[in-house]
Each structure stands twice: as structure tokens, then as C-alpha cells.
Structure 1
């Protein structure tokens, strides 16, 4: 989903057929055009790797040759652009109109290697919306196909482009459409999907990437970058949650929400109270739905094989395995339903609108904001660490949660503190979090075993799990000591 002046929303063909009856469109007349785009690349896809798009587009009877640079998902759009001239495919490639001289020279050097890679062909029905004075929005329904390598993928999406007015007007129009129609924010462009069809890619698990912030940013601008990166991370895995049995998709979707909720907590002193109270509980509810699926996935994939080795002849293991298989299927379906729901689609759109609409406030720079945030989290960790070794599983879980929040904060602010000191601190925090995660998995496994084998039936297994937890406590103590000796990197620049 674009975050500047354009929005893309996916919809089903059945919903598309009802679009023209929406109250926003009843007084507008659509303009229909056949649009054909042929995308070019080298055989080894060098343009794709360099985020450069070269294509010919035919709208109606007019052909245009287009060259563009695509901004990364975490960067600003400054320095990126698109250049067009009249031109038809099949002739000599002409890059003289490209305003970036380095890009122009690079493309000239590849001219003889460029070949058609894939084609998008669709019918566009476009309406001009003028919801109030000074606001003009083009709404375009595209229906057709992406074709590459003898394969096809359907196109059915709605695009909204802000021609005049503010970004809030764009989201307001999208929200009004969403009240009547099930529309879902789309993150991947047609060209991105075209390359996936070309490669015949299966769904890929996407992990969190670095967020591009810099010391000159305001704290609020940094929050926008972090929050929107977390949403992209979540959406990059949502199709996998809905369409695949691979548990890693649920895991990464859950990580994305945890990171997002951590960011909301970090920036809470600067955020409007209504943003926090309106959205954090909704993200928490979604995280819990995914958390149930993740807990049973871990139990089935990691805990049960260990139990089967420890108790090879126990009939209880087969019973527990059957119960876990059922719970995994039920919770995976619940996770899929949650990400297919209208509530989830609205949450994505409303949260993105709220984040983009944030005022700068006191315009505090992020390099002044970050150290105080990290100090606060490190202090909370130290306080809980003193209680962890002598405490119970709940105490260690609280410590794990605080370490995780500290680790996420370190990742968010990492570009502000370059150097080996931060990397060593992060490695130490990650190692400690991994150990706390193992202890938490054993605690959760005890609870799930109790659910699957209640009462005396599962007593032997539960006791064995408790002994495994106790055996890890000395290693936890060593990791805590090592972490506490680390220099604080954000105060040693």
C-alpha cells in the first residue's frame, strides 16, 4: 500500500461488480480504457535487483516508454522519479529522456540485453471524485491479467490517487468505500507481482528488515518510519498465514505486531492518547489470536519430538500428539480468518491514516529521544533480572518481555549508534532472550500438556518439563551476568 498520494486496495470480482453502485460513485461517470504494460529486464534481472523499472505502456491508442526508480519500502521517495516519452515496443530503446545521468548511462550500457519480461493487461474504469471543494481523487478499478513465462495471475484492484487536497482526504474516501465494500490494503505493485509470476515463486516468509532512520529526523518522523515498516512486515506474511500451513508465516506476522506494539510503547510519551487507546488494544487482540496458533505450532514441532524421545513407550504421547494436531488445525484456521476479516482490513487502513496524520509536536530530534528511551528499558530489565533467578516462570516471562522490548528498541534505533559496541550489546541481549524463550516454551508446554492430558494422566510429563526448566537456570544466570557487564552503547558514542 502506498503511503504518499496513492492507495491500492484489493477486492474480489463479485465486490468489483458492485462498486459502481457505491454512493461515492453514483453521480460520477467512469472513463474506460484498455491498458497494456510490457516490462523489460535483462535475462539475469539486473533492473529488478537495482529497483529500476523499464516498460512500455499503451493507454487507449497511445504508447509511452517509461523509466522509473522505485523507492525501497523503508526509504523516502526523495531522489526517485519517473520519466516518459512517446514510443512503441519493438523499436530501439531510447533513454535520452532520463533525467538521472548515472541511471541513463547504466541503462544505455544494458540496451542490447533488455528483453520483455512480463505483461500486464487490464481494463481500467476510472471515476473522478470531488467529495468537497479543493479535493479531487481519481478512483480506478483495474481488472485483467499478469502474464509471464506462460503463467497467469488475475488483477482485480482499486487504486485511489490524490490529485488535489490532503492525504487525510485520500484515506477518508478509502474509509468511506470500506464501510460498504470489503476492500483490503494491497502492498505489492503490479510490477512486483509480475516478477513473482515470472519467477514462479511460492509464498516466501519475510523477516523484519532494518528501518532507515537518521539522526536528523524528528522523533515523530522516526515513529512513522518504524510503524509503517512493521505494518509492511505484517502484510508481507499475511498471504502465507491465510494460504500456507508453514508455521513461520504466523510467527513472522506475530513478530511484526509485537514490534509494532513495542514501538507504540516507546513513543507513547509523544503520541496522542487517542491513537494509543484506539489502536493498541486492537493490535493486542490480533496478536493473541496469532499467539494461540504459534504456541501450538511450537509445541507440536519442537516439544512433542523431545517428549517422544524421553518417553518412547508412553501411550500418553500419542494421545497428546493427536490433541496437538487438532489444536494446530483449529488455531491456524482462526489465524487465517482473523487476517481475512473486514476488521483487519479496516485496522490496517485506519492505523496507516492515523500514523500519516500525526503532527510533529515539539519536533524533538530522534537522536535526543532515543537514549532516554533505551535508558528506561534497560533500567526495567535490570530490575526484573534481579528477581528472575529466584522467581517463578511468570517472573521470567516478564523479564523476557522486557528484554524483547529492549531488543526491538535497539533494532529501531540501530542506525543512530553505529559501531561494534552496539552489535556486541545486541548479540548479548539476543542470546539472553533466546534462553528466556526456551524457558518460556517449556512453561507454555506445561500448560498445553495440562490441557491435552489433564489431571494425573499427564503428571509425569509435566514434572519432566519442570525439571528441564530448572536445569536451564544456571545457564540463565551466566547469560544475565554477561549481559550486565556489557557497556551501554548509546552512552558511549
Structure 2
């Protein structure tokens, strides 16, 4: 088995000549190949479900059979297990796969394997010395075909032949000085499967993160941070395609989780890392927040008011203004994502996360208990005097609850499942109620902004009444959370 460490970078076709003229490539001979790959799976796509890719590749006169595990990529960097041997077209032999579970899966699927899609591209490759490493840079141009459909390929892959992962990022920095290269998380195989199934872009939601007690706190942070980054990147295409509300919501959640993770793990992270990346995402997060606020206002807050007052001129004005603001907010997000600083931030952050080292030696369970306890104490102080809080203090309490929930979700694999499941359910219900209250506070601000001259509109009255009703339900939910907190005892 070999381990493939590869950074995938998207390149616009109009920038290919600029890449080929890069000073780094001057004097380095390149190899050109025509690569035709056929990917196989069972009719019910068993391999895809297990995140396995199986292909036969024609490379000149040679045929190769490749099996890859499909661990998710973050920041464009993928670290995958790979098994590759010479092959004969139409014949499969998995005896060289030294992972017994995977080999048994492939053997069981053998008789059902059939071609699913092909990738047909021309590769131009250079071997580049960078730092202490040797890296293959491959420029791939061609297409992916499935059934009657096809889509283009134009990308750069940087594969570590020998040396250090850090040097892949250094080489990328040097390349980005002359041409825009965008980190990409979707492999050719993933794109081929989506084409085969004719799947449109779908909002991507946070997945459970595989932390475990044997990790150090910094190792756990690396797993969590890269998971949050993947969560964001998987929604990026949807943002660029027009930013439907759920793509915006999920991208915003991803950045909130990422920023919460940085704060949660700040005691074990370098101060310069926290200072740099605790704020780096703020502009993008702000644009997503603005879009999300107008989406909620237009899709959730206004419709019941419009049904109750169908002839209100103010409501029609609000609807038109909200639609205008939604479009403007989407354009702002797209503009930020198209700035050359955005892919550079992705590379720098991914590189910085991989470069983190742990020198404190704190056991992860102890660290997690201490941080969750600190978050809990912080929010309990506000919860116990909820009746005295004003809107701003309730907003602060809501954010602290959100941070506590994220901390618990990050640490879920370490938690006693039965007790913690009930506790998280109670916390989620409470957070949802606080979120609805905050939506009404935000709605008042948006109404003031949209129709500043009307402070007595029916929309003002509706939102104020709705907020008052929601606020009365919170004390009972807070008491349920406090009781659930007393019953659960933290991490075992």
C-alpha cells in the first residue's frame, strides 16, 4: 500500500498559458501523457457508499488497476491510501490489497462490477524540488463522461513524491504569485459519480468528526478545523452558483463552527495562530450573516405578516426591499469568493493547521472537560438571571449557548452517549427558541433599515408581539437545561 498526499487546485482555462510561463517551470523538462480511466462499481454503487474508488487506467500501452480510499479533502489537500498494480482490461485482481476488510469488500463485489464513468485527459507533469521535497506538478486538461453527459477538467495536482507536506503549500504559494489557483475538494471520481447520477449541487451539512481519546488536543483541533473547512468548501459551488438560502446557511454555520473551534482550543494553540485566524474569516462570515438575516426575514418572518395584512402597503415595500437586499448580499458573497485573497487564505490556513505541533501534553479528555465546564459556567451565570437581561444580554447568552453546543458536538465521541444525547436535545431546543427570539430582534432592525420613516407599521407591531410571546417560553426551557446539566457528569 502507498499513501498518496496530493493537493488539488482548480485552474481557469484562460490562465493555462500564464501557468505554463511560470518562472518555476523554466528549464524543467515535462512529461506529456494521454490518460484514459474507466471507473467501476456495482449497480447500486457499493464502492461509492464506502468511499472507495476503483479504476482501470490506460497509460500509453500500459494498463494499471488502482484502488483508492476516498478520505475527505480539506483546503484541497487529500491524504489517501492507494493500491496500484499492472492490469489486464476487464480483469480484476485484489490480492495485493493488504487491508483485509477492503479486500473482502472488493472480492464480494467482483462479479457485479461494471463501468460507471470515464475520465479522458492529457497530463503535462513536472518534477519540482521545493525545500526538502520532490513534488510532481501535473496539469490535467480533458473531460469526464458518464452516459450522455460530460464536464470539463482543468486542474493542477501537486503530489508529494518525497519530503514534507509543508513544502506542497510552499510550492503553491510560489505558483499563486503568478496565477490564481483555487483549492478544490472534489476528486475526479467524485465529480464522475455526480455526473453519472445527474446530481445537482446539494447543501452540505456538518458531519460527525472522528476525534478520539488517544489524540492530543492539537491533533483533535486539526481534525475539527479541517472538517469545518471541508464543510464550508462543499457549499462553495452553491454560493457561486447563486447562493440559495441553505447553501448560505450551511456556509455560515461552517465558519461559525470553525471560529468557535479556534476559541475553544485557544489555550493549546500558538498565540499568533489564534490572532491571525480567529479574525481572518470575519469579513466573509459577516457577508454570509447579512445574507442569512435577509433570507430569514424574507422567507420566514414576512410571509405570515403578509397573509394577515394582504393589502398593507408597508408589507409590499418590505417584500420588495428584502428581495433587493437578498440579491445584493449574494453578490457581495460572490465578490469575496472571487478575490485572489480567498484561495490564498484557504492555502495559508490549511498549511498552518497542518504545521501545528503539541508541546503541552495535556490529555484530550481532561482538556475537553475543562473547556466544556468553562463554557457551561459562563452561560449558566446569564441563564440564572434571565429575567433581568435586556435584548443585548440575551443575544450574548444565545451566542454562549451556541458555543457550548458546538463544543459538545465537537467532543461527542468522548462523551457518555445516553446522558449526553438527552442533554444535547435539551440544549438544541433551548438554542432554537433563543434563535427565534433573535430573529425577531433582527427583524426589527431590518424593518427600521428598510422603512426608516415608519416606526408604527403593522410589521413592527407583529414582530414585537411575536418576540414577547417567545420570551415567555424561555424560563421553563432554561430550567429544563439547568436540570439536565445537573444530571449529566461530563466526559468519562
Q: Give the 3 Å change call, closer, same or farther, for CA 490–21 of structure 1 in structure 2.
A: farther
Computed over aligned residues only, the root mean square deviation of the Cα atoms, in angstroms, reads: 1.9
Residue 333 of structure 1 aligns to a residue in which SS? helix
Structure 2 portions without partners, runs of 5+: none
Q: Does 2:428 correspond to 1:422?
A: no
Q: Does 2:120 correspond to 1:125?
A: no
TM-score if structure 2 supplies the norm length? 0.95
Partner of 1:438: 436
Q: Does 2:29 correspond to 1:29?
A: yes
For the residues of structure 2 that align with 1:264 and 1:23, how far apart are their CA atoms?
37
For the residues of structure 1 that align with 2:273 and 2:454, how far apart are their CA atoms?
48
Deviation at 1:31, TM superposition (A): 1.0
For the residues of structure 1 that align with 2:368 and 2:315, how far apart are their CA atoms?
49
Partner of 1:368: 366
Partner of 1:409: 407
Structure 1 portions without partners, runs of 5+: none
Q: 8 Å contact 2:10–2:182 — kept in the other structure?
A: yes
In the TM superposition, what whole-angstrom CA distance separates every residue of 1:303-356 from its partner, at most 9, and x where no partner exists? 110221332321111111111110011101111222222121111110000000
Partner of 1:391: 389
Deviation at 1:77, TM superposition (A): 9.5
Matches within 5 A, 1:95-134: 95-132=94-131, 134=132
Of 465, 468, 473 in structure 2, the residue corresponding to residue 467 of structure 1 is 465
Partner of 1:381: 379
Q: Does 2:289 correspond to 1:291?
A: yes
Q: Does 2:479 correspond to 1:491?
A: no
Q: 8 Å contact 1:47–1:53 — kept in the other structure?
A: yes
Aligned length: 487
In the TM superposition, what whole-angstrom CA distance separates every residue of 1:242-274 from its partner, at most 9, and x where no partner exists? 103420000000000000000000011111111
Partner of 2:327: 329
Deviation at 1:456, TM superposition (A): 2.8
Q: 8 Å contact 1:35–1:59 — kept in the other structure?
A: yes
Deviation at 1:419, TM superposition (A): 2.0
In the TM superposition, what whole-angstrom CA distance separates every residue of 1:134-167 from its partner, at most 9, and x where no partner exists? 3211111001101011110111110111222222
Q: Give the 3 Å change call, closer, same or farther, for CA 72–130 of structure 1 in structure 2.
A: closer
TM-score if structure 1 supplies the norm length? 0.95
Partner of 1:181: 179
Residue 226 of structure 1 aligns to a residue in which SS? helix
Deviation at 1:385, TM superposition (A): 1.6
Residue 54 of structure 2 aligns to a residue in which SS? strand
Q: 8 Å contact 1:9–1:158 — kept in the other structure?
A: yes
Partner of 1:49: 49
Matches within 5 A, 1:198-209: 198-209=196-207
Q: Tell which deviates more after alignment, 263-272 or 22-31.
A: 22-31
For the residues of structure 1 that align with 2:397 and 2:285, how far apart are their CA atoms?
19
Residue 212 of structure 2 aligns to a residue in which SS? coil
For the residues of structure 2 that align with 1:364 and 1:358, how far apart are their CA atoms?
15
Structure 1 consecutive aligned stretches of length 4 or more whose deviation exceeds 6 Å: none
Partner of 2:279: 281
Of 457, 476, 479 in structure 2, the residue corresponding to residue 478 of structure 1 is 476
Of 180, 191, 194 in structure 2, the residue corresponding to residue 193 of structure 1 is 191
For the residues of structure 2 that align with 1:167 and 1:73, how far apart are their CA atoms?
14
For the residues of structure 1 that align with 2:108 and 2:356, how far apart are their CA atoms?
44
Q: Give the 3 Å change call, closer, same or farther, for CA 105–424 of structure 1 in structure 2.
A: closer
Q: 8 Å contact 1:220–1:363 — kept in the other structure?
A: no
For the residues of structure 1 that align with 2:412 and 2:229, how far apart are their CA atoms?
19
Deviation at 1:465, TM superposition (A): 1.3
For the residues of structure 2 that align with 1:55 and 1:17, how far apart are their CA atoms?
30
For the residues of structure 1 that align with 2:478 and 2:362, how far apart are their CA atoms?
34
Residue 66 of structure 1 aligns to a residue in which SS? strand
For the residues of structure 2 that align with 1:24 and 1:402, how far apart are their CA atoms?
48
Q: Tell which deviates more after alignment, 383-392 or 466-475.
A: 383-392
Residue 258 of structure 1 aligns to a residue in which SS? helix
Q: 8 Å contact 1:417–1:490 — kept in the other structure?
A: no
Q: Does 2:309 correspond to 1:315?
A: no
Deviation at 1:388, TM superposition (A): 3.2
Residue 169 of structure 1 aligns to a residue in which SS? helix
In the TM superposition, what whole-angstrom CA distance separates every residue of 1:427-454 from its partner, at most 9, and x where no partner exists? 1111110001000000000001111111
Q: 8 Å contact 2:92–2:110 — kept in the other structure?
A: yes
For the residues of structure 2 that align with 1:261 and 1:110, how far apart are their CA atoms?
42
For the residues of structure 2 that align with 1:458 and 1:326, how far apart are their CA atoms?
23
Q: 8 Å contact 1:125–1:140 — kept in the other structure?
A: yes
Q: Tell which deviates more after alignment, 194-203 or 456-465.
A: 456-465
Residue 116 of structure 2 aligns to a residue in which SS? strand
Deviation at 1:397, TM superposition (A): 0.8
Deviation at 1:390, TM superposition (A): 2.6
Partner of 2:92: 93
